[in-house]
């Protein structure tokens, strides 16, 4: 399979095995000094976004997800998980990160350092 080469300054992190995220939920991960939210949909798609809601800093990984959307647990602001685009609110878009599984089922995420 072709893989895009890492761009300069990009760092790849191993977030451990996929089983750490139950199906349909999200978890927050600490990448050195940055927090990201990683979501595993019930249809086994992976998404990664910034960890905190741009509205009031709610922990997005604690939100309910479904149909490619996350709902922030604090004030129910919604965002598209693929693009980070706000849905029905005027917050800035979420940062999103490329995320995938390796052959052993470990989650790999790439972020610009």
Partner 1 sequence: MTRKQRLVVIGNGMGGARLVEEIVSRPGGEHYEITVLGAEPYGNYNRILLSGVLAGTYCPEQIFLHPLAWYEQHDVRLCAGQAATRLDWQSHRVQIADGSWEPYDRLVIATGSSPCLPLLLNLVREDGQLIEGAFTFRTLDDCQAILAHSSHARRAAIIGGGLLGLEAASGLVKRGLEVHLIHRAPHLLNLQLDAAGSAVLARLVSEQGVQLHLSKETVAVLGEDRLYGLRFSDGSELACDLCIIATGTRPNTDLSQAAGLAVRRGIVIDDDLACSVPDVFALGECAEHRGQTYGLVAPVWEQARILAERLTDSASQKQYTGSAISTRLKVSGLDLTVMGDKEPASSTDEIVTYAEPTRGIYKKLIVREGRLQGAILLGDLPGSMPAARLVQLFLRGDPLPTNRAELLFPCHAGSKQALSVAELPDDAQICNCNGVSKGAILAAVRAGKRSLQALCEATRAATGCGSCKSQVQELLVLACEGEVAEDPAVHYYVPAIPLTKPELVRVIKERKLRSVSAVFQALADGREDPTSKAGLASLLKTIWGKDYQDERDARFINDRVHANIQKDGTFSVVPRIYGGVTTPEQLRRIADVAEKYRVPLVKITGGQRIDLVGVRKEQLPAIWKDLGMPSGHAYTKAFRTCKTCLGSDFCRYGLGDSTALGIKIERRYQGIEMPHKVKLATAGCPRNCSEATTKDLGAVAIEGGRWEIYVGGAAGSRVRKGDLLCTVATHEEVLLYMGRFMQYYRENAKYQERSYDFVERVGIEHLRRVLVEDAEGICERLDREIQAAVDAYVDPWQREAEQPVTPTQFSQALEAVPVPLGASE
Among 4, 7, 18, 22, binds partner 1 (CB under 8 A): 22
CB of 46 to partner 1, least distance (A): 14
Taken as a whole, the chain contains a residue count of: 113
**Contact in structure between 39 and 15 (CB atoms under 8 Å):** no
Q: Which helix (H) or strand (E) holds 16?
A: strand 10-17
CB of 18 to partner 1, least distance (A): 11
Among 46, 94, 99, 109, binds partner 1 (CB under 8 A): 109
Among 24, 45, 82, 112, binds partner 1 (CB under 8 A): 24
Closest CA to 75 of 47, 52, 97: 52
What count of Cα atoms within 13 Å lies in the side-chain half-sphere of residue 30? 2
Among 2, 7, 25, 96, binds partner 1 (CB under 8 A): 25
Rounded Cα distance, 105 and 22, in Å: 14
Contact residues for partner 1 (CB under 8 A)?
Answer: 3, 6, 11-16, 19-25, 27-32, 35, 41-42, 51, 56-59, 62-67, 69-71, 73-74, 77-78, 85-86, 88-93, 102, 108-109
């Amino acid at each position: 399979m072709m893989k895009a080469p890492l761009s300069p300054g990009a760092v790849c992190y191993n977030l451990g095995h996929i089983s750490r995220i139950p199906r349909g939920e999200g978890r927050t991960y600490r990448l050195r000094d940055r927090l990201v939210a990683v979501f595993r949909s019930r249809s086994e798609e992976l998404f990664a976004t910034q960890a905190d809601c741009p509205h009031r800093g709610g922990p997005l990984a604690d939100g309910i997800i479904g149909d490619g959307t996350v709902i922030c647990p604090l004030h129910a602001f919604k965002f598209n998980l693929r693009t980070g685009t706000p849905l029905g609110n005027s917050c800035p878009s979420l940062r999103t990160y490329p995320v995938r599984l390796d052959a052993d089922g470990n989650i790999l995420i790439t972020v610009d350092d």
